[in-house]
Chains A and B, each alone.
Chain A
Amino acid sequence: MLDFFQALENTGFSTWIRESGSIWAYPIVLTLHTIGLGMLVGFNWAVDLRLLGVGEQIPVLSMDRFFPWMWWGFWINAASGLVLTIADATTKMTSWVFGVKLALIACAIIVLRQIHKQVFVKQSSDGKALAAISLVLWILATTAGRLMAYIGPVSGLVGTSNN
């Protein structure tokens, strides 16, 4: 398996992403990953907050219109995340923190789909419990994502000094 990750990491594309120094390689992909996070988690949190009682004058069902923006964020991050994973396959695929991050995202997406189904489509639930779970899952997923730079096998730029 490690051979496969090694091969992925050594492709011309991976090497270009990682080492070309071009603005269009690693920096832009990472920027897209940040923007996608803002869209998916941000709008999901806005819906969660509404279900938990913030802005009660907002008709819940009208927030349906924000779901496509979340899915845009999701796909931007699936694509940019895949590129970032391939570029550092041997470190990312052996990092347990990365595994935890992916599992948390999977749970958060399942909860998001449940919110959509139960609150918006079937209208069978006020979604309060799901919203609370969703809020926490995204905090944990974001935390796991950030900690990939500090725990376990780490790639790229690390460390800081105040000199």
Chain B
Amino acid sequence: MAILLKIAYRNLREHKTKTLIIGSIIALGLLILVVGNSLLDTAEEGIRKMFTENFTGQVIITASRNENLSLFMGPGRMNGEPTPTIPEYPELASYLDALPGVENTVSQITGFATADLNGEGNAFLQLFGVDPEQYLEMFPNTAEVIEGRLLEVEETGIVVSEDVVEMLEESSGRKVEIGDKILLTNINSVSGTKIREIEIKGIIRFVSEAPNLSLISYIDVGSLRALSGMTKVTDVEVDLNREEQEALGRVDEDDLFGSDEDLFADTELVTETSTEDALLTILGDTSEAQAFRELDPDGWQYVLLKLEDSRSPERLIRSLNSYFEEQELDVKAYGWVDAAGATAQLVSGLKTVFNVLILIVAVVAIIIIMNTLVISITERIGEIGTMRAIGARRLFVRRMITLETLMISLAFGVIGIILGSGIIGILNLTGIEATSMFLQVLFGGSVLTPVVSTGSVLASLLMVIVVGIIASLYPVSVALKIEPVRAMNQR
């Protein structure tokens, strides 16, 4: 092995130009990899922290048939379909409360509404319906109150964000005060249009600013349930007896309205007895129907979990989902990325694009390294033939070429990593400030403070080894075809 290392090292030193060409490509590739990974990791970590510590927790649980996993605005939310509620919520809540490893849980409803300020101004709101006490306990630093106060338990009202206030003030031309009442309107395809008047109790500013979070306002659960039409009726199936089914089956439009006869010719439509009370009694006893229109006190769309160990929620998600399956509960657990929606997926998207670029760079590097090595081997036919002639086995030649490639890959790979880490260090010292909300999300704060993780360095080294081995495969096969007789023919 010592002789192989000696030959490999001296060959690389001897052929400086070739070594530098291959080495520069490797070093540059690794530099890009380290810097890129560091920036993306920083963005990912920043976004993860921002969402998990302020809005989503590490795990969310929602109804299996819920297709809108994100708690925030997004294309899936704008189709007017209401988000389904969690079935058998009380059982689920008590199970989750007793679950080991869970630090906190909070239940939530998400909704949207347009807000109207006395017909003078309007704004679009994203509404989070939560229990204020539970929510504050789980996310104590999400927002700061800049006017008024937060909602109290079972209090009706709304706490709007600074941006919503700004929109309302801009469109109305007057200052929004605590105590102002706004009309919230929500339309969905099941419950139709719902309007509620609600009082502004406070104005908040979010600590972590991000484009799609600024319109969030916190509203009491009852009001949001009413706005979203979350009544008990949505979950009731009516069993009709045979007679009722037959009666409904016979209904035909022509039977009802097909006759030429004027049904109301002899009827006085308005009589002295047509008072409101009298009209309300026409349908007889409607108490059962009223009960169905009552708001569902257990109507929740999401349960958010904050874990004691925030690093690996995947295991808990898996075990929760198997438990739900076993218990035949129609709910499912997901990670924070699903709950965070488009912003978190933006980083995953950027990572994918970056990895594709790295793959392209790797392929180009492999081709260049491979060609340079083949040229080098062609120049060393006599040397390799001599080695074979004086007793070197094919394995020796294979090891010699592979070792040379690995040595150059690792040496220049480490140089690339050091340079990349240096650039990250300079970025840290410079302290580049985020000039937009988008950059703030990507930087994971107001100043870019990227770090190089050990995992990223090890992954980069592994990649350079794989690139080196792949790049050496063809040159090795060329070297192995060199017969010892070529040593004799070397003139």
A and B interact: no
List residues of A whose CB falls within 8 A of some B CB: none
Taking beta carbons and an 8 Å cutoff, which residues of B are in contact with A?
none
